[in-house]
């Protein structure tokens, strides 16, 4: 008996037991788990635990030094009562409505341009992707100069078309649009690559057959290419919506959330009114609300833009 | 060549062995290295004990975090270099932490025991009650006495700003400079407009006349501001100064009542709003006010002494004068720059750090003549060459002379333990600036904005009580 117990807990004994373990009638293949273990460990440590800590912190007041003090839902009540917080969240949703479709459409058009191998497509391939690798601070500062009301490049060109100068960053009506413009330019590269890869999977025979049947270019795009690209379009929209809900660096560099809070985003509000004032509990509460909004919007988005062709 | 099929069991066995081997390979050399380092340090220490002379002892390194930028940073770097040249036993290692990141970096670093030994108060002296409350800053009364710092040599005003009444009136900073705001006037623009630069504006009416004369418009649109305003932070600080001159106070002297004389605050809002809408001498379409004045997009600019050096280097032909008397009293903005010591796990470092701060204070002549601000030390102010050294007095004088220091009674903010950031007038992101912005852009009325500001202020004061 003793020898049987001993045998059970030896290396070979444990190995045998693991090998014989089953889940729903099937033997468990432990090699997969071993291979994902490194990633899983880091994910649990730096993502899952951090998320749980953030959820816990959102119900506390904590100023870095000392222990968190439990306050229940007080932080959430304070956020919902703050006009500026409400404005920040509404601005964020407005950014999503402009930037996500903007990036999707522009990325698709650019990918089509490169895929069709129109003149300049070789250089364009690198040029369209390059904004993605630029630091947001540098990009933001350049766009501040470009969007300057009196001396900015964009107003100079608009002036040549007879359009009066637009106060891109100095008017509450236009500041969020100026930020959106920069964001579309900056974010398009990654989606462009996704669309370009997907376009290369569209069977050439389908396009050729349609052209033989007399379809115009636009009809080919609308009736053949776009439906086949539905899965990647859905993914691009989802990723862009999530990224836009977290918009921060460009606002911080370009407008600091002004003027009059008109370009403030939820994360900018979290940084200015939470982290910078050492209110980590309050900042966590803002983050939790943003997480819930992100989940809800993503679910709605996935339901509206189904992946199946 | 031979082929071998690798079974799953064999693969897992080899993977486990390889992983274990890598882990051991990663660990082992470290242990060996540490042993080597420890042995070398022991050897060094033994050598030091046997053969040491004072010159062979390693200097103590004091870590200094600094958020200064542009020309201020250059002058401050040279001051630190002077210290390091003059002091063999102590060396200051300076690291730049941008002011935008200061709030989120310092407290966590000090709390984790890896913070700097000393740094500039941010945003200014007397505005870090959070740090004092959390024990991040070290009280300096005893340390200053121990190192022989002559406290009687400090001007009373700046020294009082560095004390926190809510914390037993203890001293938490050593004032290094006193900053006021003055009016810079582009001399070329004045000449173009036929104005006498030798007789600059002294009152609010004269200021508006000069602004009108120097403004360039295209139809109804201001393309060159006679009175440079915008963005948020500029509007807010000018409102702070004008409202102070008109008799408004953000907080009562006992720090219990918000908005003393709110009508004066509203009058100041109207005065600024009229710059844009009625007199049309300013435009809201300014994204970078420093650049705007530097390239001639604005003719007059209320700003601080930190601009003097930069504009001189850029070749701007300008003078600076005291802020005109726009309200009932001719007052201006007051900000004190100070150095504070941060809590360290090893408290024996405080003495050395305080010696370094004492040296910087005793030798603040260079900083306050070539850098920014007026000296906080009477002995420096009274030096015969104080006006003739460093930056030209024609540009520097209005910020730092006796009259400027007498006028400087409008504090940048208050050292409140609750919501202090919202009281700061030199800010573009706080509640005050956001609410004032809504007035300039016509989103809220002046009455509504003042009510909101007063309500928020009173909430903070009640919470702090």
Q: In this predicted structure, what is the pLDDT of residue B6?
A: 65
Residues of A in contact with B464 (CB under 8 A): none
| Domain presence at residue A43 | no
Q: In this predicted structure, what is the pLDDT of residue A122?
A: 86
Whether B103 and A272 lie within 8 Å, measured CB to CB? no
| Domain presence at residue A27 | no
Q: In this predicted structure, what is the pLDDT of residue A177?
A: 94
Rg of chain B, C-alpha, whole Å: 28
Q: In this predicted structure, what is the pLDDT of residue B429?
A: 84
Read off the pLDDT of residues A89-101 as tens digits, 9 standing for 90 and up: 999 999 999 999 9
Of B8, B111, B297, the CB nearest to A31: B8
Whether A169 and B287 lie within 8 Å, measured CB to CB? yes
Interstrand relation of B221-227 and B298-303 (parallel, antiparallel or unpaired): parallel
CB of B442 less than 8 A from some CB of A: no
What domains lie within chain B, and their CATH numbers? 59-180+336-381 (3.40.190.10), 182-332+416-464 (3.40.190.10)
This prediction has a pTM of 0.82
| Domain presence at residue A39 | no
State yes or no: pLDDT of B217 exceeds 60: yes
CB of A252 less than 8 A from some CB of B: yes
CB of A150 less than 8 A from some CB of B: yes
- How many separate domains does chain A show? 1
> Quick one: pLDDT band at residue A41, thresholds 50, 70, 90?
very high
Contact A280, A201 (CB under 8 A): no
Residues of A in contact with B429 (CB under 8 A): 256-258, 272
Q: In this predicted structure, what is the pLDDT of residue B436?
A: 96
Whether A258 and B429 lie within 8 Å, measured CB to CB? yes
Read off the pLDDT of residues B132-155 as tens digits, 9 standing for 90 and up: 999 999 999 999 999 999 999 999
State yes or no: pLDDT of A218 exceeds 80: yes
C-beta contacts of A270-279 below 8 A and 24+ residues apart: A272/B429, A273/A82, A273/A84, A273/A85, A275/B103, A275/B104, A276/B103, A276/B104, A276/B421, A277/B103, A277/B421, A278/A63, A278/A64, A278/B103, A278/B107, A278/B130, A279/A61, A279/A63
| Domain presence at residue A23 | no
> Quick one: pLDDT band at residue A119, thresholds 50, 70, 90?
confident
CATH number of the domain residue A250 falls in: 1.10.3720.10
Whether B285 and A149 lie within 8 Å, measured CB to CB? yes
Side-chain-side CA neighbours of A74 within 13 Å: the count stands at 10
CB of A33 less than 8 A from some CB of B: no
> Quick one: pLDDT band at residue B327, thresholds 50, 70, 90?
very high
Q: Output the CA angle B409-B74-B415, nearest 5 degrees.
A: 30
> Quick one: pLDDT band at residue B422, thresholds 50, 70, 90?
very high
Whether B297 and A150 lie within 8 Å, measured CB to CB? yes
Whether B103 and A258 lie within 8 Å, measured CB to CB? no
Residues 157..176 of B with a Cβ closer than 8 Å to A: which?
none
Give B226 to chain A, closest Cα distance, Å. 16
- Over range B227-251, report the average pLDDT: 95
Q: In this predicted structure, what is the pLDDT of residue B3?
A: 43
Q: In this predicted structure, what is the pLDDT of residue A7?
A: 55
Q: In this predicted structure, what is the pLDDT of residue B55?
A: 46
CB of A34 less than 8 A from some CB of B: yes
> Quick one: pLDDT band at residue B24, thresholds 50, 70, 90?
low
> Quick one: pLDDT band at residue A305, thresholds 50, 70, 90?
confident
Read off the pLDDT of residues A23-33 as tens digits, 9 standing for 90 and up: 888 888 888 88
CB of B23 less than 8 A from some CB of A: no
Residues of A in contact with B12 (CB under 8 A): 30-31, 34
What is the DSSP secondary structure assignment for residue A277, as one 8-state letter? G
| Domain presence at residue A150 | yes
| Domain presence at residue A52 | no
| Domain presence at residue A147 | yes
Phi, psi of B86 (to 5 degrees): -85, -15
- Over range B197-213, report the average pLDDT: 97
- Over range A147-176, report the average pLDDT: 91
State yes or no: pLDDT of B21 exceeds 70: no
Whether A259 and B437 lie within 8 Å, measured CB to CB? yes
Residues of B in contact with A276 (CB under 8 A): 103-104, 421
Q: In this predicted structure, what is the pLDDT of residue B31?
A: 42
| Average pLDDT value for chain B | 89
Q: In this predicted structure, what is the pLDDT of residue B39?
A: 42
| Domain presence at residue A13 | no
Q: In this predicted structure, what is the pLDDT of residue B26?
A: 53
- Over range B218-237, report the average pLDDT: 92
Read off the pLDDT of residues B101-115 as tens digits, 9 standing for 90 and up: 887 899 989 999 999
The residue among B38 and A280 whose pLDDT is bigger is A280
Q: In this predicted structure, what is the pLDDT of residue A3?
A: 59
Read off the pLDDT of residues A239-261 as tens digits, 9 standing for 90 and up: 999 999 999 999 999 998 888 88
Neighbours of A122 (CB within 10 A): 10
Q: In this predicted structure, what is the pLDDT of residue B41?
A: 45
Of A30, A144, A256, the CB nearest to B429: A256
Q: What percent of chain A has pLDDT over 70?
A: 96
Range of the domain at A224: 75-304
The residue among A132 and B54 whose pLDDT is bigger is A132
């Amino acid at each position: 008996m003793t020898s049987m117990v001993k045998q059970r807990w030896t290396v070979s004994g444990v190995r045998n037991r693991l090998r014989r373990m089953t889940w729903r009638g099937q033997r468990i293949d432990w090699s997969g788990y071993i291979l994902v273990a490194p990633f899983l460990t880091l994910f649990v440590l730096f993502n899952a635990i951090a998320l749980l800590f953030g959820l816990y912190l959102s119900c506390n007041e904590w100023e870095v030094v000392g222990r968190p003090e439990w306050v229940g839902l007080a932080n959430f009540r304070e956020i919902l009562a703050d006009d500026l917080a409400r404005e920040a969240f509404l601005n964020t949703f407005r950014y999503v409505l402009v930037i996500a479709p903007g990036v999707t459409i522009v990325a698709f058009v650019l990918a089509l341009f490169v895929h069709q191998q129109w003149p300049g497509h070789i250089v364009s391939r690198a040029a369209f992707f390059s904004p993605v690798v630029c630091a947001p601070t540098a990009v933001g500062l350049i766009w501040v100069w470009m969007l300057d009301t009196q001396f900015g490049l964009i107003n100079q060109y608009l002036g040549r078309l007879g359009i009066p100068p637009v106060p891109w960053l100095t008017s509450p009506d236009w500041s969020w649009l100026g930020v959106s413009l920069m964001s579309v330019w900056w974010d398009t590269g990654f989606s462009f690559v996704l669309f370009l890869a997907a376009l290369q999977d569209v069977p050439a025979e389908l396009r050729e057959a349609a052209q033989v049947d007399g379809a115009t270019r636009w009809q080919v795009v609308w009736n053949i290419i776009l439906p086949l690209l539905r899965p990647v379009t859905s993914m691009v929209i989802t990723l862009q919506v999530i990224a836009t809900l977290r918009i921060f660096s460009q606002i911080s560099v370009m407008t600091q959330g002004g003027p009059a809070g008109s370009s403030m985003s939820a994360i900018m509000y979290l940084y200015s009114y939470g982290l910078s004032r050492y209110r980590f509990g309050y900042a966590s509460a803002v983050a939790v609300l943003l997480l819930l909004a992100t989940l809800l919007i993503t679910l709605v988005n996935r339901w509206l833009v189904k992946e199946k062709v | 060549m031979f082929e071998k099929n690798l079974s799953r069991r064999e693969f897992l066995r080899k993977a486990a062995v390889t992983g274990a081997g890598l882990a051991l390979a990663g660990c082992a050399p470290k242990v060996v290295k540490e042993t080597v380092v420890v042995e070398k340090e022991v050897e060094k220490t033994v050598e030091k004990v046997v053969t040491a002379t004072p010159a062979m002892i390693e200097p103590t390194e004091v870590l200094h975090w600094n958020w200064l930028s542009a020309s201020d940073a250059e002058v401050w770097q040279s001051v630190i270099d002077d210290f390091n040249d003059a002091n063999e036993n102590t060396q200051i290692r300076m690291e730049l932490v941008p002011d935008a990141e200061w709030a989120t970096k310092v407290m966590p670093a000090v709390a984790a025991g890896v913070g700097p030994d000393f740094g500039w108060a941010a945003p200014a002296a007397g505005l870090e009650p959070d740090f004092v409350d959390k024990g991040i800053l070290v009280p300096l009364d005893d340390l200053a006495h121990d190192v022989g710092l002559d406290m009687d040599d400090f001007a009373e005003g700046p020294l009082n700003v560095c004390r926190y009444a809510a914390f037993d009136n203890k001293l938490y900073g050593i004032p290094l400079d006193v900053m006021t705001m003055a009016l810079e006037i582009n001399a070329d623009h004045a000449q173009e407009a036929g104005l006498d630069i030798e007789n600059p504006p002294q009152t609010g009416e004269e200021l508006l006349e000069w602004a009108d004369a120097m403004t360039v418009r295209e139809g109804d649109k201001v393309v060159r501001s006679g009175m440079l305003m915008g963005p948020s932070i500029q509007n807010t600080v000018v409102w702070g100064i004008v409202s102070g001159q008109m008799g408004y106070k953000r907080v009562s002297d006992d720090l219990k009542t918000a908005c003393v004389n709110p009508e004066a605050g509203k009058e100041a809002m109207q005065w600024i709003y009229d710059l844009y809408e009625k007199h049309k001498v300013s435009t809201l379409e300014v994204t970078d006010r420093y650049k705007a004045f530097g390239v001639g997009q604005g003719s007059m600019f209320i700003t601080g002494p930190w601009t003097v050096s930069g504009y001189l280097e850029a070749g701007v032909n300008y003078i600076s004068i005291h802020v005109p008397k726009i309200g009932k009293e001719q007052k201006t903005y007051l900000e004190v720059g100070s150095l504070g010591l941060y809590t360290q796990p090893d408290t024996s470092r405080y003495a050395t750090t305080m010696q370094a701060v004492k040296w910087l204070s005793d030798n603040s002549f260079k900083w306050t003549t070539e850098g920014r601000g007026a000296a906080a030390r009477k002995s420096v102010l009274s030096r015969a060459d104080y006006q003739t050294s460093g930056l030209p007095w024609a540009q520097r004088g209005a910020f730092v002379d006796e009259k400027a220091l007498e006028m400087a009674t409008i504090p940048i903010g208050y050292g409140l333990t609750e919501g202090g950031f919202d009281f700061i007038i030199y800010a573009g992101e706080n509640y005050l600036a956001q609410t004032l912005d809504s007035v300039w852009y016509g989103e809220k009325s002046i009455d509504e904005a003042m009510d909101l500001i007063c309500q928020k202020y009173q909430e903070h004061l009640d919470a702090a009580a």
